[in-house]
Structure 1
Amino acid sequence: MEFRILALSGGGYRGLYTIAVLKHIEQQAGRPIGQCFDMIAGTSIGGIIAIGLALGKTAEDIEQVFLKRGEDIFPRSNWKLGRIVSRLRKPFGAKYRNRELRKAIEEVIGDRALIADAQTRLLIPAVNMSDGQVQMFKTPHHERLTWDRNLLAADVAMATSAAPYFFPMASIKNSNYVDGGIVANAPDLCALHEAIHFCGQEIENIHILSVGTTSSKFSLPNSLGRDLGAFAWLRKDRLLSTVMTSQQQLVHFMMTHHLKDRYLRIDREPSSEQTSDLGLDIANEKRRATLLGLAEGSYRSFTASTQLKAFLDHRPALLDFREGLA
């Protein structure tokens, strides 16, 4: 029996591309896109989307929050002195406060929803900095998976999206967490492992639809030289972009070998002009228009795809993880 997974990459505000692609796909499906999958995995902004979809939210509703809240989450001062003060603060704290991020997350998934309220299996990567271990937040879809069920979904969303340098670490119980993109910016391989080892699936039955964030490649010109210091690596998100994109390339390569034509990746490589216009934390009107245009172009490329249609025709039973809550 087929087991179909939706895997959503991280990428800061470029996640607007992800949710816009999903909105177009959802319109083709004629029902909430989360209902088409047996599991949804997501990292960082992809994790926020994944949790929202698993809780029954529509892609269109989530997109509206991103459009409305983007500039609140990633504010840009139009006042020259304000920009100077912001730059001076960066070495001593996170670039942004996470208050507006929390508001946006709660608007997407609510402030009381629990992980066990999800209607679809969830897998959400983060890194626990208090004990130095990778953390995979999960619905209780296996008898051994009971720890996360009572966690607030909004807390988990904050943990997977707490990007170092950009936001403060997120706290759950007695542990501090940073963005899952540090370890699994593309959670596809983690989801494959989960399906096999915790959901009892044979690899021949697993199909994965993976959606990126227009950040499949990142390179530096040789003119920058080889001896880059901390400032040069942090400038223009170079270090984080290198970590994210190199992970994604490796995962895509391995997934193609593992699943062959049962793996469908939707992403768009921006032109050099568009790349210079985009950023992990740029959310103004022009950037929004660029991301929405890229999403529309990507969807058009897959409209007639029989692979995509097979995902949309899939109708798994909605799950209820709430029984037996402590």
Structure 2
Amino acid sequence: MGERFNILSLSGGGFLGLYSATLLTGLEDAAGTPLARCFDLLAGTSVGGIIALGLAAEKPVAKIEEAIASNGIAIFSDRPSPSGGIGSALDFWRSFRKPKYQADALRSVIESLVGAKTKIGDLPHRVIVPAVNLTKGLPQLFKTPHHPSFKTDLHLRVVDVALATAAAPTYFPIAEIDDALFADGGLYANSPDLLAVHEAEHFLGQRIDDIHLLSIGTTTAQFSFAHAHGRQLGIWGWSRDQRLVNVIIASQQHSVNYMMCHRLADRYIRLDAIQSKEQERHLALDIATEAAQKTIRGLASATLQSSINIPLLQHFLAHRAPPPAFHHKVR
């Protein structure tokens, strides 16, 4: 056995990322040090990518949590979850011809956290963030320069990478970096656990037996269909109640969780919560009401209370990662 190698992997989920941030705030308090120092590699998708980039910059998690909570309405809206046919139709129409939201408020929040000019190469901790390169028609991982071949991403601004991983189709505009177009990394890796393990093995030379991974969700890992909806669903039927999005996110997360349990066994911990049927009616990727905030934070507090004394989790928080070796510097 070699030295322990800790990975923190954060799932996407829109405003439900407040769950992750609230939970991470409690973990950072328990660790008694900036949480990134407990991990040798950070990974995050969409809102999880935004949080991971903030952690990599050693921003206090409590500040990230508060930024998400206090700016949720500005980023999305103060509308509650749509109810009934008319409400659902209006919600559908908002994104029929253009994105439901613009990214200006989200950009401002990210810049307030990490700075407008901070570059990937300025970050003191290893991090990977997935997005979809629409120009190339390929998935892409943005990375710190922790391998000799990683020579380009370090010059990109953190805010641009954050907007790329969070550019959810129909919710936000397509992101652009150096004339290339990007969409949300959740289209292929909403839970970036496997990507992070691959990175550790193939680019950082870690043995699988030394890798420990803490994965944190966004309460989005459950879905089910009722026969009452019928089987002849078109665009309207699949978009109502965010059915298609929920199926994509939850299916990915279950698949990744299944494989990670096999690959890492007891070196893998997944912290998440399941929304009750009543809560599902009032929570969604873009519902940022005060009531939604309280429910999300309540779910996170319950997860923290039930898991904080688990010895495996304590081992993650007790770890202190050595300073990473970066092979290139920002010009």
Normalising TM by the smaller chain, what interval? over 0.9
Q: CA deviation at 1:222?
A: 1.1
Aligned residue for 1:149, secondary structure, equals helix
Structure 1 residues 269-307: Cα deviation after superposition (integer angstroms, max 9, x where no partner): 111111211100000100000000000000011121111
TM-score in terms of structure 2 length: 0.94
Percentage of matched positions with identical amino acids: 44
Q: 6, 9, 14: which is aligned to 1:7?
A: 9
Aligned residue for 2:171, secondary structure, equals coil
Q: 252, 261, 272: which is aligned to 1:247?
A: 252
Query: What is the match of residue 154 of structure 1?
Result: 159
- 1:297 and 2:302 matched: yes
Moved more, 235-244 or 197-206: 235-244
Query: What is the match of residue 216 of structure 1?
Result: 221
Maintained 8 Å contact 2:146/2:327: no
* Structure 1 Cα separation of the partners of residues 213 and 35 of structure 2: 14
Q: CA deviation at 1:322?
A: 8.3
Letter of the 2:136 partner, please give it: D
Q: 9, 21, 24: which is aligned to 1:19?
A: 21
Aligned residue for 1:247, secondary structure, equals helix
Aligned residue for 1:7, secondary structure, equals strand
Matches within 5 A, 1:198-237: 198-237=203-242
Letter of the 1:244 partner, please give it: I
* Structure 1 Cα separation of the partners of residues 269 and 79 of structure 2: 40
Query: What is the match of residue 266 of structure 1?
Result: 271
Letter of the 1:28 partner, please give it: A
Matches within 5 A, 1:297-316: 297-316=302-321
Structure 1 residues 101-126: Cα deviation after superposition (integer angstroms, max 9, x where no partner): 11111122211111011111111000
Q: Structure 1 residues 324 and 59 mapped into 2: Cα distance closer, same or farther (>3 Å)?
A: closer
Maintained 8 Å contact 2:11/2:190: yes
Letter of the 2:198 partner, please give it: H
Count of residues paired in the alignment: 325
Q: 64, 67, 70: which is aligned to 1:65?
A: 67
Letter of the 2:55 partner, please give it: L
* Structure 2 Cα separation of the partners of residues 284 and 108 of structure 1: 22
Letter of the 1:228 partner, please give it: L
Structure 1 residues 195-215: Cα deviation after superposition (integer angstroms, max 9, x where no partner): 000000000000000000001
* Structure 2 Cα separation of the partners of residues 3 and 89 of structure 1: 45
Query: What is the match of residue 184 of structure 2?
Result: 179
Aligned residue for 1:282, secondary structure, equals coil
Q: Structure 1 residues 9 and 180 mapped into 2: Cα distance closer, same or farther (>3 Å)?
A: same
- 1:139 and 2:144 matched: yes
Structure 1 residues 133-182: Cα deviation after superposition (integer angstroms, max 9, x where no partner): 00000001000111101000000000000000100000000111000000
- The Cα RMSD (Å) is 2.0
Maintained 8 Å contact 2:46/2:184: yes
* Structure 1 Cα separation of the partners of residues 170 and 327 of structure 2: 36
Structure 1 gap segments, 5+ residues each: none
Letter of the 1:9 partner, please give it: S
Aligned residue for 2:281, secondary structure, equals helix
Maintained 8 Å contact 1:116/1:322: no
Letter of the 1:58 partner, please give it: P
Q: CA deviation at 1:86?
A: 7.1
Q: CA deviation at 1:87?
A: 5.6
* Structure 2 Cα separation of the partners of residues 192 and 21 of structure 1: 22
Query: What is the match of residue 52 of structure 1?
Result: 54
Maintained 8 Å contact 1:122/1:138: yes
Maintained 8 Å contact 2:107/2:159: yes
Q: CA deviation at 1:321?
A: 4.0
Maintained 8 Å contact 1:119/1:320: no
